[in-house]
Structure 1
Amino acid sequence: MKKIGILCASDTELEPFLDYIEVEKIIEKAMLKFYKGSIGEHPVVAVYSGVCKVNAAIAAQILIDEFQVTHMINAGTAGGMDEGVQLFDTVVSQQMMYHDVAEDILTEFHPWLKENYFCADKNLLLAARQYSRQTSFPMLFGRMVTGEQFIEDDKRTEINAACAPLSVDMETASAAHVCYVNEIPFLSVRTITDTADHKGAENFEKNCEAASRQCAKIVTGILGQLPS
């Protein structure tokens, strides 16, 4: 049976999931709260890690080691990078990479990737595509990038030229990294709060709650496409 880890960065991103999860137990570890329960037929463990790569990696490894999740979905919000990405589009990861790590670090050293990006799980992607054909929410499939900063105009052009991403956030690639070395199927689903045309932290703050609710609904819909 699949056991799904749901990893969010913030309490705002996690909170909508608690409307869908039948919580059986809350377990505290490493200063984090893990909500153990189910969504439909799927056992789940949900947590918000706190912002940034290391926090996401800590939570992801605990989900794997302590809760034995078999699959992981990183969910929440992101900034739009490609000019075609609009507010409240939801980006689903096909590839995930760091925009602030030298290109050869992960190919020349552990975990010796063939390319400097991680790939989403094919079956989770298939479920997301199936759901995308049934929903009115706009869903885009492509590359996500991760780094340790909120991206404004001074970095956007540089990152787009180097990585050609649809979205940017501070956690996805690190959670994908942990899942890759542990051979855990992974997918990231992020709803857009800010773009080049609707930029800045003020737009993130204004749109975060609504985008988080939308993302939780989409992730729940994706889970509904997975066999138990």
Structure 2
Amino acid sequence: MNAHTSIHIAVGLTACLAATPLAAQGIDDTPRVAVMSAFDPEWEVLQKGLGNAETHNINGSPFITGMIEGQDVVLVLSGVSMVNAGMNTQIAIDRFKIESIVFSGIAGGVDPELAIGDVVIPEQWGEYLDAIMARETAVGFVIPPWMSSDFAPMGMRHVRNQTVLREGLAESESRFWFPVDEDLLATAREVAEDLSLDECASEGDCLSEAPQIVVGGNGVSGAAFVDNAELREWAFETFDGRVLDMESAAVAHVAWANDVPFIAFRSLSDLAGGGEGENEMSTFMGIAAGNSAKVMRSFMAALD
């Protein structure tokens, strides 16, 4: 081997190493609860009462370590949308020592028995807008013969399951629902028994009836803001959904894939198109975000 060959090999190896991304480096070894919210109004509420706060900027997003109700946490701003939420959940798991994940935020109400301001804590989450867009034929919308759906369609939209893998599975499996952790849900049930929610916002807007905490049932998430009565009714009838949003099922999916316990608290800021007038999210967003955070803090205080 001559000198020129050695130089070329060395340069080639350096280029390969430079092109290979470094493994994500952990921020610290402190076991933490990841407390997540989607956007600024929820994010600001979460930060109230946070002790020993320290901000870490990762990929341009803030991850704030500190303490809430005696628990070591990292606050995660997921961003709105399924992709943002999934991405930042995985970053949190990779960069911090995450023992469980808690999501707190607002959502659209689907169950007609629920009202604005109520806090819903579902026992499982599904990605209801991940779909097969069917071909229109003389006999209606038909999906390809090698595909299938477990749910009643809405027009051309046929919902599909997720094909998933995680460590310990010999092969991939198909699933729609991603469960909330049973122990976390049991703690949430205990907290819900004795906690009352706020009826009025600091700005003066008040609810027409006292809000309640509902534990159990189904939540669904998808990449669309919903203000449509027909879709809302379909989500309720097809998935027995109580609440819908744009992040929780993505976080539940990533948590399941990493075998990390997960739970979400979602307070209704609007009825997803089910109200008599125009969408009321901008009016009741503050009450909803505050009530969700109130339940979350009581939950954190009750954790072992």
Give the TM-score band, short-chain normalised: over 0.9
Query: Secondary structure at 1:125's aligned position in 2?
Result: helix
Give the match for residue 147 of structure 1. Answer: 222
User: What pairs up with 1:1-228 in 2 under 5 angstroms?
Assistant: 3-102=32-131, 103=149, 105-106=160-161, 109-111=163-165, 112-113=172-173, 115-137=175-197, 138-141=212-215, 142-151=217-226, 152-195=228-271, 196-197=274-275, 200=278, 202-227=279-304
Distance 1:69 1:199 in 2: 42
Query: Secondary structure at 2:86's aligned position in 1?
Result: helix
1:126-152, CA deviations, whole angstroms, 9 ceiling, x for partnerless residues? 110010011123111221100111112
Give the match for residue 135 of structure 2. Answer: none
Count of aligned residue pairs for this structure pair: 225
C-alpha distance 59-199 of structure 1, shift in aligned 2 (>3 A): farther
Report the alpha carbon displacement of residue 198 of structure 1 after superposing the two structures with TM. 5.8
Could you state the TM-score of these two structures normalised by the residue count of structure 1? 0.92
Contact 2:36–2:75 under 8 Å retained in 1: yes
Query: Secondary structure at 2:113's aligned position in 1?
Result: coil
Query: Secondary structure at 2:125's aligned position in 1?
Result: strand
Could you state the TM-score of these two structures normalised by the residue count of structure 2? 0.70
C-alpha distance 106-59 of structure 1, shift in aligned 2 (>3 A): same
More helix by share: 1
1:160-211, CA deviations, whole angstroms, 9 ceiling, x for partnerless residues? 22211000000000000000000000001000011123665x4111111221
Aligned CA-pair RMSD: 1.8
* Runs of 4+ residues over 6 Å off in structure 1: none
Which of the pair has more CA radius of gyration?
A: 2
Query: Secondary structure at 1:64's aligned position in 2?
Result: helix
Fraction of identical pairs, as percent: 26
- Give structure 1 stretches of 5+ with no counterpart: none
Query: Secondary structure at 1:70's aligned position in 2?
Result: strand
Amino acid at match of 2:88: A
